Amino acid sequence: MISYLGAIGTANPSHCIAQQQIADFMAQALEFGDVDARRLRALYRVSGISQRYSVLPDYGRTNGDYTFFPNTPGLNPFPSVGQRMAVYRREALPLALAAVADCRRQVPSLEMASITHLITVSCTGMYAPGLDIELVQALGLPAAVQRTCVNFMGCYAAVNALKLADAACRANPAARVLVVSVELCTLHFQKSAEDDHLVSNALFGDGAAACLVQGQPLPDGAPSLALTAFHCGLEPDGHADMAWHINDFGFEMTLSSYVPKLIQRGIGRLTEQLLSTLPVRRADIHHFAIHPGGRKILETIEQALDLSHDDNRFAYRVLRDYGNMSSATVLFVLRDVLAAATPADHGAPVLSFAFGPGLTLEAMLLEISVDSYQLTVNNEKAVRSMEGEPVAAALVAAE
């Protein structure tokens, strides 16, 4: 029994802020002098990020007209965990619903009453009754839907959610699993000049993703990804290099400069272990969906696995346009892999990685599933339905 991932919907908050605007905010908030401010802006320029999204407009402002942070020098008193969680509770559900709506647009025939399992994912906020119950009520899901919450596992958590969804579908071929990841990372800005915090503040953005996992490919020829295999690895030497703690002023991320080296050291072994029992070799794989934890992480993986920049193009594009959105990020990358799939890609393997505290390295092997016949039929129907229009225009509209 094979399960299929498809209809990956995504959403971001309304505040899209240029990376250099955020750098200006950070320099002012940290009360940096000219020399430190220049160094900070240089860090932001080489991050590979052009813009990020936030539920807070403050990061695009340097005039003190803030809505969340205090309008005082040094932003004192700095917002507490309680204040940050209040924003999370207000903003998480609308963003999750927007991602689900995007998912449902891709499968118009999807009935919410048919959902048997709901898996929610987040490491940037929590409350109870939580987001899972709010989604049940807002979406009209059955009260008996089986709910699971994957919390506080960091950037690799969506992979664990897909493992759970895959297990549910293998146990029950009629299972239909809705996975929803919501991360509001920018709520947890740390007012600290320590290198780890400066790097974290330069990387993370807000976003949500929702996807459907079921025991058969999506209808109407829409591309899906067969969940073929999973493998988890640990690099215990990185226990202190990537960590996530709840402190008095938000959730504090530790992300040391040693993390890319740890990933580079373990990624080859992880790939070998993933493929060891499969009829697929590394040389057979030409599609990749790598969690863009940062530009340096992508570059070190390329070196370790002999990948080109183009092999990693989907990860770089997500990093550029959204930054690191923790667990939701790899789903954004997989969304782009699916969007680019053609009938010629049917059966092609996709190698995917995500990383998090521990240091945890998660690997997935997926396979592109495209019903080329059904896609052709759908395109022909679309053309025939546009009577009176030039054929060229109809073909463009049908694509």
Q: Are residues 168 and 231 in the same domain?
A: no
CA 123, 253, 85, 29: dihedral to nearest 10 degrees? -150
The residue among 200, 219, 238 that closes a domain is 219
Domain carrying residue 280: 221-372
Whether residue 239 is found in the same domain as residue 204? no
In a domain, 381, yes or no: no
Residue 303: DSSP 8-state: H
Find out whether 258 and 355 touch, Cβ atoms under 8 Å: no
Judge if 133 and 261 occupy the same domain: no
Residues 253 and 176 in one domain: no
Say if residue 149 is in the same domain as residue 246: no
Query: Within this chain, do residues 32 and 123 fall inside the same structural domain, yes or no?
Result: yes
What pLDDT is stored for residue 375 in this prediction? 46
User: Rounded to an integer, what distance in angstroms lies between the CA atom of residue 151 and that of residue 143?
Assistant: 21
- Residue-wise pLDDT tens digits, 56-72: 999 999 877 999 999 99
- Supply the pTM of this predicted model: 0.91
3-11 and 224-234 strand pairing: antiparallel
Do 206 and 249 have their domain in common?
no
Given a contact cutoff of 8 angstroms between Cβ atoms, the answer to whether 4 and 217 are in contact is yes
Beta strands in 186-329 (DSSP E): 206-214, 224-234, 242-247, 250-255, 287-290
Kindly state whether residue 394 falls inside one of the protein's structural domains: no
> Domain with 11 in it: what CATH number?
3.40.47.10
Positions of the chain with pLDDT lower than 50, given as ranges: 373-399
CA gap 335, 160 in Å, rounded: 17
Q: Please tell me the predicted confidence (pLDDT) of residue 246.
A: 81
Task: Choose among 159, 161, 158: nearest CA to 183.
Answer: 158
Assess contact for 133 and 195: CB atoms under 8 A: no
- Note whether 69 and 210 are same-domain residues: yes
387, part of any domain = no
Verify that 48 and 31 share a domain, yes or no: yes
The confidence score (pLDDT) of residue 241 equals 67
Is residue 315 within 8 Å of 289, Cβ to Cβ? yes
Q: Residue 359 falls within a domain, yes or no?
A: yes
Cα 119 from Cα 287, distance rounded (Å) = 27
Asked, for residue 173, whether it belongs to a domain, the answer is yes
**What pLDDT does residue 62 have?**
82
Judge whether 148 lies within some domain.
yes
Alpha-carbon span 93 to 298, nearest angstrom:
31
One domain, residues 305 and 162? no
Q: Which amino acid is present at 198?
A: L
Q: In the listed set 219, 242, 261, which residue is the last one of a domain according to the structure?
A: 219
Do residues 215 and 225 share a domain?
no
Q: What are phi and psi of 122, to 5 degrees?
A: -165, 145
Q: What pLDDT is stored for residue 105 in this prediction?
A: 95
Catalytic position from the list 155, 169, 185, 211:
155
123 is an active site residue: no
Q: Label the pairing between strands 117-122 and 176-184.
A: parallel
Look at residue 390 and tell me if it is in a domain.
no
Question: Does residue 389 form part of some domain?
Answer: no
Mark whether 280 and 206 lie in a shared domain.
no
Strand-by-strand arrangement of the 176-184 sheet? 146-151, 117-122, 176-184, 206-214, 3-11, 224-234, 360-369, 349-356, 287-290
For residues 152 and 326, give the distance between their C-alpha atoms in angstroms, rounded to a whole number.
10
Q: Which of 174, 189, 219 is the last residue of a domain?
A: 219
Residue 224 is predicted with a pLDDT of: 96
DSSP assignment, residue 79? Answer: P
Look at the chain and report how many structural domains it folds into: 2
SS (H, E, C) 133-182: HHHHHHHCCCCCCEEEEEECCHHHHHHHHHHHHHHHHHHCCCCEEEEEEE
